[in-house]
Structure 1
Amino acid sequence: MHLAFVTSLVPDGTLTTGYEIANAAIIDGLRRAGVQVSVVGFTWPGKQPIDPENTVVLGSVDVQTHTASAGQRLLWLGRALAEGQTFSSVKLRHTGEVRIRKALQTLEPFDGYVLNGVTLAGAYPDLFRNKPSIFVAHNVEHQSAAENAVAARSLVERLLYTREARLLKQLEAKLCKQADFVFTLAEEDRVPLGIADDRRSATLPLTTRATAFLPLSSRQPAYDLALIGTWTWQPNRIGLDWFLEQVVPQLPHSMQIKIAGRAPAGLRSDHPGVEFVGRVEDATAFVRGAKVIPLISQAGSGVQLKTIETFELGMPAVATRSSLRGIADVPENCTVADDPAAFALALTHAARLRLVDGDGRAFHAAQIKAMDRQISRGLAALPRSMQRHAA
């Protein structure tokens, strides 16, 4: 079976975001199942695909809103309003349908599509209907947009997120309806997407890497807590704001808290132990430098890749229930707490007691096994559809 993996950004080997990590895991899973996968999408500016022989590049694009100029943001917004498109999809509309059709023709013969996320498939919703398809819903995007609207800091932001939520709900319903099978990354996402029927959808467990981390014979933490993420992404920012405003004030002043990753300007904390360290060269080493990992998600959908990586490393953690979406088996050295006071108390106890590390290899192996099983289910739905398309 030969499938075109249609995605906004093609893998380039730099797994810096959860989206990129998930894409690599899904492509690896399809190839383990014996599928010939050809990737179709855009590259980041200055980047090259990691697998050029099996990749069709549609062009180069920087889809980050926070780094775009004011003029570029206004151009995207104007086009989105004029064309009735979501803000995220309109960024990919400059290529044009004709060019994408020609790119797809270079892959023939192929059997179907894997529509990876809503962005590129949503930019051209009628382009990928001539063959069977699997839709990968990384998140319930309309739900995330609605949560962003509630958390918006201005009326204009609230109105834009509300519009995005309305359009995304329509778009996700369309993509789910036309797909022959849908993968979500969290069980909780199937109902709001209207695809809870086991014959039409399945939850896809993920890993953050192809091979398991080897446990360290000894680990000497240099600080108490470590958080890492792209904090400019609104769902992540909502969790970080909750942590800084409601949890951190209840932590001992002696506690050392390192926060790595891209952060919005002006982000700060009055706690003397909080340090924003920006980008780190080795994310794994940074995480392993902590006694405990706070898993702080408060919003969004899909799966938290940082949660999976924490469990793959065997690290002690304190997690909100939202952080555990898509996780069937929570390790024993993870405490679950949603109340800010209980969360702070659990972090304090875990850091003082110096909870032992687990062996994340068993968790990684279980995720791989479950993922392969679910991919087989999704692929089994395509041959029947291929016959219908041929007829």
Structure 2
Amino acid sequence: MHLVFASSLVPCGAPESGFEIANAAIVDGLERAGATVSHIGFQWPGSSLNAPERTRSLGELDVKTDNASTRQKLAWLARAMAGGLPFASAKLRVLGDAAFRAALDEIGPFDAVVINGVGLAGAFEKALTDQPYLYVAHNVEHQSAAEAARQASSPVERFMYRREARHLRALEERLVAGARHVWTLTQEDRATFGLEGSERASVLPLVTPLSATAIPAGQRVPAFDAGMIGTWTWTPNRIGLEWFLQEVMPHLPEQVTIAIAGALPAGFPQRDKRVTFLGRVVDAKQFIRQCRIVTLTARAGTGVQLKTIETFEMGLPAVATPSSLRGIADVPANVRIADTGREFGKLLAEQIVGHRTGSVTDLDATAFRASQIAGMDAAIAQALSAFRAGH
């Protein structure tokens, strides 16, 4: 079975962002199921394709909004308004439908397209949905946009996010309605799309990709009591970070040390001497192993938290909010769950002391990863079998 994985980004180098990690894991799963997978989409500027013989690159493109100039952002906005597109899709609309169709045709005969998220689908909807397709819903994107609108600090931002939410909702409804099968990453997202109990939808438990750097082995030597990593410029992540700094930090002892890695919004202030902001780190897994306890602080958004899965795959102790555990069926024994700042701070302090004294330890995560892979393989096999039967 030949599938075309249509995504805003094609595989280039080691996956870094949560989106890229999830993509690589899903492609690994499709290939384990016996599918041949080709790719179409854009690549990062200056990058090299991982599988050039199976990839049709649409060109180099940096679509990060926080990297863009004001002039570029206004150009994207004008394109979105003129085309009635979500802003996220307008950034990718740098060639016409005919050129995109020609690129898709160059891949050769294929059985179906796997539409991976809304970005590329919104930019070239007709060309992609004219084919038999399966849809991967990484998140309920319109809910995230609506949440960002509620958190917006200016009327202009609020207007923009509300507009985005409207267009994304309509696009997601069309993609779900036309798909042969829909994969979501959590049961909650499946229900939100009205597909709970439907044989046309299933949940994909995620793992980090088999091609990713191996989990470091050996004894840990923690440099920090607790830590977290993420792209904090993304609104749902930033909401969790702000909650931790405002609601959790006041309930932690003065002597604790907290490290936060990942890109921050411009001008983000240093507010507490106990917190060290490290920016982007070279090796995310090595960084997180330098923290006694991992803090998983999601308070918003949909879909799965890849940093939660990475933490559990490494067997590291953590304190997590309920939102951080979306899509996780079995929570490891060395993880504590808290939904208020006070309770989170209390449990985090206890976990730190427990790790210092040896009562809280790392776990063998082999069974967790095996369970996630088995769940993913079952969901993919079910969908591909149904597709073949109905094709």
TM range (shorter): over 0.9
1:306 aligns with 2:307: yes
1:365–1:215 Cα change, 3 Å: farther
Helix, strand or coil at the partner of 2:192: coil
Partners of 1:217 and 1:89 lie apart in 2 by: 44
Using structure 2 for the length normalisation, give the TM-score: 0.96
Shift of 1:99: 1.1
Shift of 1:268: 2.6
2:365 maps to 360
Partners of 1:244 and 1:322 lie apart in 2 by: 17
Shift of 1:214: 5.6
State how 1:180-219 maps to structure 2 within 5 Å: 180-210=180-210, 216-219=217-220
State how 1:321-336 maps to structure 2 within 5 Å: 321-336=322-337
1:18 maps to 18
**Contact 1:214/1:361, CA 8 A, preserved across alignment:** no
**Contact 2:100/2:124, CA 8 A, preserved across alignment:** no
Partners of 2:211 and 2:136 lie apart in 1 by: 23
Using structure 1 for the length normalisation, give the TM-score: 0.96
299-308 vs 87-96, greater mean Cα deviation: 87-96
Helix, strand or coil at the partner of 1:227: strand
2:106 maps to 106
Matched length: 386
1:339 maps to 340
1:361–1:214 Cα change, 3 Å: farther
265-274 vs 94-103, greater mean Cα deviation: 265-274
1:3 counterpart letter in structure 2:
L
**Contact 1:8/1:41, CA 8 A, preserved across alignment:** yes
Deviation track 1:58-111 (CA, whole Å, cap 9, x = no partner) reads 111111111100000001111111111100000111111111111111122111
Shift of 1:176: 0.3
1:286 maps to 287
**Contact 1:9/1:42, CA 8 A, preserved across alignment:** yes
Helix, strand or coil at the partner of 1:89: helix
Deviation track 1:318-348 (CA, whole Å, cap 9, x = no partner) reads 0000000000100010001011000011110
Helix, strand or coil at the partner of 1:127: helix
1:72 aligns with 2:77: no
Give me the identity figure in percent.
51
2:45 maps to 45
Shift of 1:215: 7.3
2:158 counterpart letter in structure 1:
R
**Contact 2:258/2:274, CA 8 A, preserved across alignment:** yes
**Contact 1:239/1:299, CA 8 A, preserved across alignment:** yes
Helix, strand or coil at the partner of 1:224: strand
1:322 counterpart letter in structure 2:
S
Shift of 1:131: 2.7
Partners of 1:224 and 1:129 lie apart in 2 by: 49
Partners of 2:301 and 2:254 lie apart in 1 by: 30
1:265 counterpart letter in structure 2:
A
12-21 vs 322-331, greater mean Cα deviation: 12-21
Shift of 1:29: 0.4
Partners of 2:165 and 2:68 lie apart in 1 by: 22
Helix, strand or coil at the partner of 1:190: helix
2:386 counterpart letter in structure 1:
A
210-219 vs 139-148, greater mean Cα deviation: 210-219
Alpha-carbon RMSD across the aligned residues, in angstroms, is: 1.3
1:124 maps to 124
1:382 maps to 387
2:86 maps to 86
Partners of 1:193 and 1:324 lie apart in 2 by: 20
Deviation track 1:111-157 (CA, whole Å, cap 9, x = no partner) reads 11100001101112211233321000000000000111111111111
